């Protein structure tokens, strides 16, 4: 078993080392496009999580009824955050300069993810705008789960949040994800991501790590074992620890 895991890790390391190098010219272009699209989708989900995190105090403000955190406001902030992180302006996607090299597949899927995210924020309005109720559990993780699920339903690309020992059983990593997460957890924080072909080269999998920032530690930090506001035991993590990953699974025969 250990040998298999070792082999898997070696495989991952090799994949990272060769990065976007094309093992076979027959699907080289497709893979590069799918990989960049997957990377951007993961970045966009991360940006959405960040926007929720930045508005957490507003969302949980029990003194205020209508928070004004509408799907449109969320979209504006998401577009702004994504532009800061990637330089890509989602509002002008079709006229993006060639230097930024947004693949056609990404031009198709990024707006679809924004739409799915807006639907999530729209659905949550009745909960967000309650006055007199503080914590509403509309947090980066629940937003992310629903946005990823909605997007995945409408697309052949599957987005998922995962971690080792997740609070939500649906976020349990599969064997591949678990191997990558274990490997990532033993390494220092980096902005790198892991990319690999599976299913005899038919499917591309991209795993982008997420690390804990101070805002996360209210629920996931110390003291370990104490219940947080949502009733889960705190994990005792520290800033910079691996929180989990966003995984993107894309069949290479997308178009």
**Interface with other proteins (CB under 8 A):** 62, 65-66, 123-127, 129-133, 135-138, 141-143, 145-146, 168, 170-171, 227-232
In the complex, what is the shortest distance from the CB of residue 161 to other proteins, in angstroms, rounded to a whole number?
Answer: 9
In the complex, what is the shortest distance from the CB of residue 65 to other proteins, in angstroms, rounded to a whole number?
Answer: 5
In the complex, what is the shortest distance from the CB of residue 242 to other proteins, in angstroms, rounded to a whole number?
Answer: 20
H/E stretch holding 198 reads strand 194-198
* 104 versus 134: smaller Cβ distance to other proteins: 134
Residue reference for tokens 């947004």 = 102
* 171 versus 179: smaller Cβ distance to other proteins: 171
Tokens of 247: 């995984």
CA 75 to chain centre: 16
Residues 164, 181 contacting (CB under 8 angstroms): yes
Tokens of 103: 């693949």
List of residues 6+ apart from 180 with CB closer than 8 A: 12, 194, 207, 245
In the complex, what is the shortest distance from the CB of residue 208 to other proteins, in angstroms, rounded to a whole number?
Answer: 20
Tokens of 37: 């699209």
Q: At what angle do helices 140-154 and 104-123 cross, to 10 degrees?
A: 130
* 226 versus 239: smaller Cβ distance to other proteins: 226
Work out the number of other CB atoms within 10 angstroms of the CB of residue 192: 12
* 149 versus 254: smaller Cβ distance to other proteins: 149
In the complex, what is the shortest distance from the CB of residue 137 to other proteins, in angstroms, rounded to a whole number?
Answer: 4
Q: What sign for the dihedral angle of Cα 174, 180, 185, 186?
A: positive
* 198 versus 230: smaller Cβ distance to other proteins: 230
* 131 versus 187: smaller Cβ distance to other proteins: 131
d(CA 244, CA 234): 15
In the complex, what is the shortest distance from the CB of residue 171 to other proteins, in angstroms, rounded to a whole number?
Answer: 8
In the complex, what is the shortest distance from the CB of residue 226 to other proteins, in angstroms, rounded to a whole number?
Answer: 11
* 12 versus 173: smaller Cβ distance to other proteins: 173
Q: Is 100 exposed, middle or buried (0-12, 13-18, 19+ CB in 10 A)?
A: exposed
**Residues 193, 195, 198: CA angle, nearest 5 degrees:** 155
């Amino acid at each position: 078993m250990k040998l298999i895991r070792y082999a898997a890790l070696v495989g991952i390391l090799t994949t990272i080392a060769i990065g976007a190098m094309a093992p076979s010219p027959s699907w080289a272009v497709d893979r590069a496009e799918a990989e960049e699209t997957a990377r951007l989708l993961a970045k966009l989900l991360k940006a959405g999580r960040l926007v929720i995190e930045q508005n957490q105090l507003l969302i949980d403000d029990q003194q205020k009824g209508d928070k004004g955190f509408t799907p449109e406001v969320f979209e504006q902030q998401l577009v702004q955050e994504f532009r800061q992180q990637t330089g890509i302006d989602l509002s002008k996607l079709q006229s993006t300069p060639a230097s930024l090299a947004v693949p056609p597949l990404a031009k198709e899927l990024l707006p679809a993810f924004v739409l799915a995210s807006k639907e999530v924020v729209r659905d949550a309005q009745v909960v967000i705008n309650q006055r007199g109720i503080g914590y509403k559990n509309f947090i980066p993780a629940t937003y992310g789960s629903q946005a990823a699920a909605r997007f995945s339903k409408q697309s052949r690309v599957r987005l998922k949040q995962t971690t080792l020992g997740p609070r939500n059983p649906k976020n349990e990593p599969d064997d591949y994800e678990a191997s990558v997460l274990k490997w990532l957890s033993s390494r220092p924080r980096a902005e790198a991501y892991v990319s690999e072909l599976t299913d005899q080269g038919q499917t591309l999998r991209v795993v982008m790590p997420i690390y804990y920032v101070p805002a996360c530690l209210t629920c996931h930090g110390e003291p370990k074992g104490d219940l947080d506001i949502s009733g889960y035991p705190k994990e005792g993590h520290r800033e910079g620890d691996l929180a989990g990953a966003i995984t993107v699974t894309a069949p290479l025969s997308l178009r």
